[in-house]
Amino acid sequence: MRYDLNLLPIFVALMDERSVTRAAGRLGMTQPAMSNALARLRAMLQDQLFIRERYGIQPTPIALELAPGIADALARLDDAVLGQQDFDPATANRLITIAPNGYVEFALVPAIVARLAEIAPGITLRLTPYGNDLTETGVVSGTTAMVLGRIADPPDNLVVQHLMDEGLECVVRSGHPEIGETITRAQYERLRHVNVMPPGRIRAGLHQAIAQQGLKRDVALSVTNFFAVAEMIAVTDYCTTLPRLICRRLSHDPRFRIMPAPVDLGTFPVEMAWHARYRHDPAHRWLRGLILDVVRQISRE
């Protein structure tokens, strides 16, 4: 039997998105064209494949059985084709979508962008939010090139690489009336705190570390990103606990005093993950190497 191979990426998109509309948008197709392609898929594979439900479509048992083999076949084809392509960062023009969490966007992305501007000015990054759900970032389907942050429970089609381990420190304003060069446990527990609550696992990691040490915090204010917390600390007598690289950025601002936490709060991992289909993509592989090099340099400073 002869198969229309052009339909296989459509099958994968429908499996990933569980929506005809979203799958069409992902592949740059109209919804009628996607519906027509689904009809041809059903005829080719001799199964209904996807059943329409209230909030989208659900795969049939046969679709679930076929999905791993089709995805693997397309990944192998990508590897074979992309592995033969040359990539010159100095002359390349390419838009790459990445999903950094709030910590990575604040602490690492500026250095990554600066390096790209220096050696690959035609590479443009587009940032998309990285929240609690990896699927929402687009990395599970491959529409987003990579996620950067703390990767928990990745699916089998993602490759995860460890970048570094990061610790935590405390920040107060320079003229704080109670805090000198260090902060004691009693002072930490007596102060009011600005709590950073970004989406994702950094928040959970900090809360777990504090709970494990039996440390108490009186939270006066919760914000959703690291950009906001500094301004809150600058105009109050509150305290905050932040990753070390962010504290390093703030240490250049005379409004702030940085000091070790009163107890050891441990570290959390910073990781990079990408879809297996990008394993041998020359541009993607080059960008991964650049990011790893930038992170290693920053962590040594």
Per-residue pLDDT of the chain (301 residues; tens, 9 = 90+): 567 878 888 888 888 888 888 888 878 788 888 899 999 999 998 999 999 887 789 999 999 888 888 877 777 776 666 555 567 889 988 889 999 998 999 999 999 999 999 999 999 999 988 876 787 788 887 778 999 998 888 888 889 999 999 999 999 999 999 998 899 999 999 999 999 876 554 455 677 788 888 889 999 999 988 889 999 999 999 999 999 999 999 999 999 999 999 999 999 899 999 988 788 788 898 999 999 999 999 988 7
Is there a contact between 94 and 88 (Cβ–Cβ < 8 Å)?
no
* Same structural domain, 109 and 126: yes
DSSP per-residue codes, 216-284: --EEEEEESSHHHHHHHHHTSS-BEEEEHHHHHHHTTSTTEEEEE-SS----EEEEEEEEGGGTT-HHH
Full domain range(s) for residue 155: 94-165+269-300
Q: Assess whether 31 and 72 both reside in one domain.
A: yes
26 and 11 together in one domain = yes
Same structural domain for residues 22 and 43? yes
User: Does residue 87 fall inside a structural domain?
Assistant: no
State the amino acid at position 14 in one-letter form. L
Of the three residues 51, 82, 113, the one that is the final residue of a domain is: 82
Residue 88 lies in a domain: no
The pLDDT, as a whole number, for residue 80 is 61
Same domain, 176 and 123: no
Residue 26 shares a structural domain with residue 78 = yes
The total domain count for the chain is 3
Within-domain flag for 105: yes
Give per-residue burial for 36-52: e unless 16+ CB within 10 Å, then b. Answer: ebbeebbebbebebbee
CATH (domain of 205): 3.40.190.10
Residues sharing a CB contact under 8 Å with residue 206, sequence separation 6 or more, in sequence order: 168, 241, 265, 268
In terms of domains, do 139 and 24 share one? no
Judgement on whether residues 103 and 158 belong to the same structural domain of the protein: yes
Residues 248 and 178 in one domain: yes
Whether 48 and 137 map to the same domain: the answer is: no
Are 170 and 241 in contact by the 8 Å Cβ rule? The answer is yes
Radius of gyration over every alpha carbon of the chain, rounded to an integer in angstroms? 23
Note whether 136 and 175 are same-domain residues.
no
Q: What is the pTM of this model?
A: 0.72
Residue 210 shares a structural domain with residue 232? yes
